[in-house]
Amino acid sequence: MTQDNNKEAIMEQDSGGEFERVPVPKSKLKGWKSFIGMYAGEHAAGTEFMIGPLFLTTGVSAFDLIIGLLIGNLLAVLSWRFLTAEIAIKNRLTLYYQLEKICGKKLVTGYNLANGILFCFLAGSMITVSATAVGIPFDMPMPKLTDTMPNGLTWVIIVILIGAVISIIAARGYDTVTKAANWMSPIIVIAFFACGVVALNQLGVSSFSDFWNIWGEGFEPFPGQTKFTFWHVVLWSWFANGAMHIGMSDLSVFRFAKEPKAGWATAAGMYVGHYMAWIAAALLYAVYLKSPEAQAFLSSGEAPPVAPGPLANNAIGILGIIAVVLAGWTTANPTIYRAGLAFQAILPKLSTAKVTILAGTVATIAGLFPAFAMKLLGFVALYGFILAPFGAIIVFEHFFYKKAGIVKNYAELASLSFNKSVFWAWAISFGLFYFISLQFDVFLSFVTLPAWLLCGFLFLVFSRYFQKKEIK
């Protein structure tokens, strides 16, 4: 064994095989093709079965939806390619270890806890999605848009079983997560496409104008839903994964890439999942809205329920049920894996497998409560708004630390456990724009980018001030 190979073997052994606190060695790097399956599987997945129909409940117009998604998803791909992948290849560290070097152990512990819990809630919503499919043969009552609590014992049992399976797969590590995604994603993509085709037929669509008129000029949102415009769609679709790209969470994924161009693989997720699949899922819901059951809800002033399992089953039968189950898995698996890494940074003495099982348990408990899935548009916006500004800390330090005259990875070099520059930059940007959102009823996706930019700028300003003061 050569010296380099011996060194890599020691690194892998010390890191439990997942390299949580060391750079990923060359022998473990993956080509760009391996990321296509993961991103297509993760983003043509459970969330799509919820988000597509939820867009219809906002009363969005055809132009705003179709063109808005085209632009918003492009901005997301560019963010992954030129920010996340670039920085990941340079350092090859997880988000959590990278932040620890900048923020200090105590501060990053709070971030990791919040990040891990929010990931668990997102994964839990996907367990909810899968449960709506598994529950069909058992004639299980489906959750409504307004439901927050479990609606029966059957629901509880199914959610727990699905959560256990997903957690076990995620606990087996990154390789198993990517293999599962590569195996499942083609089935899911085909199912989404088939659902869209069948739904178009059920809606009697025979021309592009018929398709366009499904949304037309838009309409009043359903009770309790926010009216979406073109800019709502653009900004929401850009920042739906804000925590992953501008928030730098996917440093943990792209640290395994050979070259930054692997970032382009995210287009498979955005345009297969966040474009085709969202629209296909919306078409399924459009079919349901014409049913007597849905019309009864609307006439009584209630929003008809969004239950992905029955919607897909109505279109393509058993394949639809299988697709919804697998779709929930392919989103929840990497999400629980990421949550496990966040918890592992807090509890470094525990193995990655153990903390991933812990994350899976939290996600399963969250999955029992339908509210996370039914309010997914708002939850995803909040999730990105909270976490994305921390990514600005990494981005601004990486690209501007020399021009700003600050020391890179200052907490590590100065043995700081709590970097005040990071805390105040995030607290001020978060507090200011969250206040604006609440006070003036501004949708959070509109203030995510300003908060991100302000956080990065303030970090440079505060770092320059505090570092000079501390060095003196």
Count CB atoms within 10 A of the CB of residue 111: 24
Position 175 pLDDT exceeds 70: no
pLDDT digits (tens, 9 = 90+) for 267-309: 998 999 899 999 999 999 999 999 898 888 888 888 888 888 8
- 447-460 pLDDT, tens per residue? 999 999 999 999 99
Q: Among 176-180, 349-353, 368-372, where is mean pLDDT lowest?
A: 176-180
pLDDT band at 18 (very low <50, low <70, confident <90, very high): low
Q: Are the beta carbons of 387 and 247 closer than 8 angstroms?
A: yes
Domain coordinates in residue numbering, the chain: 30-382
CA distance 370 to 381: 18
Nearest 5°: CA angle at 348, between 87 and 38?
Answer: 45
Mean pLDDT, the chain, integer? 86
* CATH code matching the domain that covers 30-382, chosen among 3.30.1360.120, 3.40.50.1860, 1.10.3720.10, 1.10.4160.10: 1.10.4160.10
Per-residue H/E/C for the chain: CCHHHHHHHHHHHHCCCCCCCCCCCHHHCECCHHHHHHHHHHHCCHHHHHHHHHHHHCCCCHHHHHHHHHHHHHHHHHHHHHHHHHHHHHHCCCHHHHHHHHHCHHHHHHHHHHHHHHHHHHHHHHHHHHHHHHCHHHCCCCCCCCCCCCCCHHHHHHHHHHHHHHHHHHHCCHHHHHHHHHHHHHHHHHHHHHHHHHHHHHCCCCCHHHHHCCCCCCCCCCCCCCCCCHHHHHHHHHHCCCCCCCCCCCHHHHCCECCHHHHHHHHHHHHHHHHHHHHHHHHHHHHHHCCHHHHHHHHCCCCCCCCHHHHHHHHHCHHHHHHHHHHHHHHHHHHHHHHHHHHHHHCCCCCHHHHHHHHHHHHHHHHCCCHHHHCHHHHHHHHHHHHHHHHHHHHHHHHHHHHHCCCCCHHHHCCCCCCHHHHHHHHHHHHHHHHHHHHCCCCCHHHHHHHHHHHHHHHHHHHHHHHHHHHC
Predicted confidence (pLDDT) per residue in 105-147, tens digit: 899 888 888 888 888 888 888 888 888 888 888 888 888 777 7
| Whole-number percent of the chain with pLDDT over 90 | 42
| Model confidence band, residue 202 (pLDDT cutoffs 50, 70, 90) | very high
